[in-house]
Amino acid sequence: MSERRATTANRADARTRLHAAQAYLEVAELALSDRRAAMPGVAAGVAVLAGIAASDAICAGRLKVIHRGDDHRAAADLLQSATVDGTQLASTLRRLLDVKDEAHYGVTIVDPSKARRAVGWAKVFVARAGEELER
Protein backbone atom coordinates (compact mmCIF):
# COMPACT_ATOMS: atom_id res chain seq x y z
CA MET A 1 0.00 0.00 0.00
CA SER A 2 1.45 3.35 -0.97
CA GLU A 3 1.56 6.34 1.29
CA ARG A 4 -0.53 9.31 0.15
CA ARG A 5 1.65 12.40 0.08
CA ALA A 6 0.43 15.88 -0.61
CA THR A 7 1.59 19.45 -0.33
CA THR A 8 -0.52 22.53 0.21
CA ALA A 9 -1.43 24.57 -2.83
CA ASN A 10 -3.34 27.70 -3.71
CA ARG A 11 -5.12 29.28 -6.66
CA ALA A 12 -1.84 30.54 -8.18
CA ASP A 13 -0.45 26.99 -8.02
CA ALA A 14 -3.59 25.73 -9.73
CA ARG A 15 -3.15 28.25 -12.56
CA THR A 16 0.54 27.35 -12.92
CA ARG A 17 -0.28 23.64 -13.19
CA LEU A 18 -3.07 24.39 -15.68
CA HIS A 19 -0.65 26.34 -17.87
CA ALA A 20 1.80 23.44 -17.70
CA ALA A 21 -0.99 21.02 -18.66
CA GLN A 22 -1.91 23.19 -21.64
CA ALA A 23 1.73 23.38 -22.77
CA TYR A 24 2.19 19.61 -22.44
CA LEU A 25 -0.99 19.06 -24.44
CA GLU A 26 0.21 21.40 -27.17
CA VAL A 27 3.49 19.48 -27.44
CA ALA A 28 1.62 16.14 -27.46
CA GLU A 29 -0.60 17.29 -30.31
CA LEU A 30 2.41 18.55 -32.24
CA ALA A 31 4.32 15.28 -31.75
CA LEU A 32 1.32 13.33 -32.97
CA SER A 33 0.61 15.50 -35.99
CA ASP A 34 4.07 16.21 -37.34
CA ARG A 35 3.83 14.77 -40.86
CA ARG A 36 7.60 14.51 -41.24
CA ALA A 37 8.31 12.44 -38.15
CA ALA A 38 5.23 11.72 -36.08
CA MET A 39 6.34 10.45 -32.69
CA PRO A 40 3.46 8.55 -31.09
CA GLY A 41 5.52 7.56 -28.04
CA VAL A 42 6.46 11.16 -27.36
CA ALA A 43 2.86 12.25 -27.91
CA ALA A 44 1.56 9.64 -25.47
CA GLY A 45 4.26 10.40 -22.90
CA VAL A 46 3.61 14.11 -22.94
CA ALA A 47 -0.16 13.48 -22.86
CA VAL A 48 0.41 11.63 -19.58
CA LEU A 49 2.25 14.68 -18.21
CA ALA A 50 -0.65 16.88 -19.35
CA GLY A 51 -3.08 14.68 -17.43
CA ILE A 52 -0.97 14.74 -14.27
CA ALA A 53 -0.67 18.54 -14.44
CA ALA A 54 -4.42 18.90 -15.08
CA SER A 55 -5.12 16.69 -12.06
CA ASP A 56 -2.84 18.90 -9.97
CA ALA A 57 -4.66 22.01 -11.19
CA ILE A 58 -8.04 20.60 -10.21
CA CYS A 59 -6.85 19.38 -6.82
CA ALA A 60 -5.07 22.66 -6.08
CA GLY A 61 -8.16 24.65 -7.00
CA ARG A 62 -10.65 22.46 -5.16
CA LEU A 63 -8.79 20.78 -2.32
CA LYS A 64 -5.90 23.22 -1.82
CA VAL A 65 -3.45 20.30 -2.03
CA ILE A 66 -1.45 18.61 -4.78
CA HIS A 67 -0.23 15.03 -4.69
CA ARG A 68 3.53 14.64 -4.39
CA GLY A 69 5.40 11.42 -4.88
CA ASP A 70 6.22 8.74 -7.39
CA ASP A 71 2.90 6.91 -7.08
CA HIS A 72 0.71 8.85 -9.49
CA ARG A 73 -2.16 6.43 -8.81
CA ALA A 74 -2.40 8.04 -5.38
CA ALA A 75 -2.97 11.32 -7.24
CA ALA A 76 -5.95 9.69 -8.93
CA ASP A 77 -7.29 8.75 -5.50
CA LEU A 78 -6.94 12.37 -4.37
CA LEU A 79 -8.60 13.63 -7.57
CA GLN A 80 -11.54 11.31 -6.99
CA SER A 81 -12.59 13.38 -3.97
CA ALA A 82 -12.03 16.77 -5.60
CA THR A 83 -15.16 17.21 -7.73
CA VAL A 84 -18.60 15.78 -8.30
CA ASP A 85 -17.25 14.01 -11.40
CA GLY A 86 -14.04 13.08 -9.60
CA THR A 87 -14.58 9.35 -10.07
CA GLN A 88 -14.74 9.81 -13.84
CA LEU A 89 -11.74 12.15 -13.84
CA ALA A 90 -9.73 9.70 -11.73
CA SER A 91 -10.61 6.94 -14.19
CA THR A 92 -9.33 9.07 -17.06
CA LEU A 93 -6.11 9.79 -15.18
CA ARG A 94 -5.64 6.08 -14.51
CA ARG A 95 -6.08 5.33 -18.23
CA LEU A 96 -3.38 7.86 -19.00
CA LEU A 97 -1.14 6.39 -16.33
CA ASP A 98 -1.59 2.95 -17.90
CA VAL A 99 0.23 4.36 -20.95
CA LYS A 100 3.01 5.99 -18.90
CA ASP A 101 5.50 3.16 -18.59
CA GLU A 102 5.27 2.18 -22.25
CA ALA A 103 5.53 5.78 -23.41
CA HIS A 104 8.26 6.92 -21.03
CA TYR A 105 10.37 3.81 -20.61
CA GLY A 106 9.37 1.35 -23.32
CA VAL A 107 11.69 0.09 -25.98
CA THR A 108 8.86 -0.55 -28.43
CA ILE A 109 7.07 2.09 -30.43
CA VAL A 110 3.73 3.16 -28.97
CA ASP A 111 0.95 2.32 -31.38
CA PRO A 112 -0.32 5.52 -33.06
CA SER A 113 -3.95 4.70 -32.18
CA LYS A 114 -3.00 4.36 -28.49
CA ALA A 115 -1.18 7.69 -28.68
CA ARG A 116 -4.22 9.34 -30.28
CA ARG A 117 -6.44 8.00 -27.50
CA ALA A 118 -4.03 9.28 -24.85
CA VAL A 119 -3.90 12.72 -26.43
CA GLY A 120 -7.71 12.73 -26.64
CA TRP A 121 -8.04 11.86 -22.95
CA ALA A 122 -5.53 14.56 -22.07
CA LYS A 123 -7.40 17.10 -24.19
CA VAL A 124 -10.66 16.44 -22.35
CA PHE A 125 -8.86 16.46 -19.01
CA VAL A 126 -7.08 19.76 -19.64
CA ALA A 127 -10.34 21.36 -20.78
CA ARG A 128 -12.02 20.15 -17.58
CA ALA A 129 -9.21 21.62 -15.48
CA GLY A 130 -9.71 24.93 -17.32
CA GLU A 131 -13.41 24.85 -16.45
CA GLU A 132 -12.54 24.31 -12.81
CA LEU A 133 -10.31 27.35 -12.71
CA GLU A 134 -12.92 29.53 -14.41
CA ARG A 135 -15.51 28.85 -11.72
Query: What is the per-residue pLDDT for 36?
Result: 59
The span from the first CA to the last CA of the chain, in angstroms, equals 35
Residue 37: pLDDT band with limits 50, 70, 90: low
What is the rounded (10 degree) CA torsion for 20, 128, 97, 12? 40
The pLDDT tens digits of the residues spanning 57-112 come to 999 999 999 998 777 788 899 999 999 999 999 999 999 998 987 787 776 788 88
CA 60-64-70 angle, 5° bins: 60
Average per-residue pLDDT for the chain? 89
- Name the nearest CA neighbour of 56 among 96, 7, 2, 1: 7
DSSP 38: -
Return the pLDDT at 118: 96
Q: Are the beta carbons of 119 and 43 closer than 8 angstroms?
A: yes
Distance of CA 58 to the CA centre of its chain: 11
From 1.10.3720.10, 3.60.21.10, 1.20.120.330, 3.40.50.2300, which CATH number describes the 6-134 domain?
1.20.120.330
How far apart are alpha carbons 28 and 26 in whole angstroms?
A: 5
Give the percent of the chain with pLDDT over 70.
94
How is the chain split into domains, by residue range? 6-134
Q: How far is CA 119 from CA 3, 11, 72, 75, 132, in A?
A: 29, 26, 18, 19, 20
Which pTM does this prediction carry?
0.90
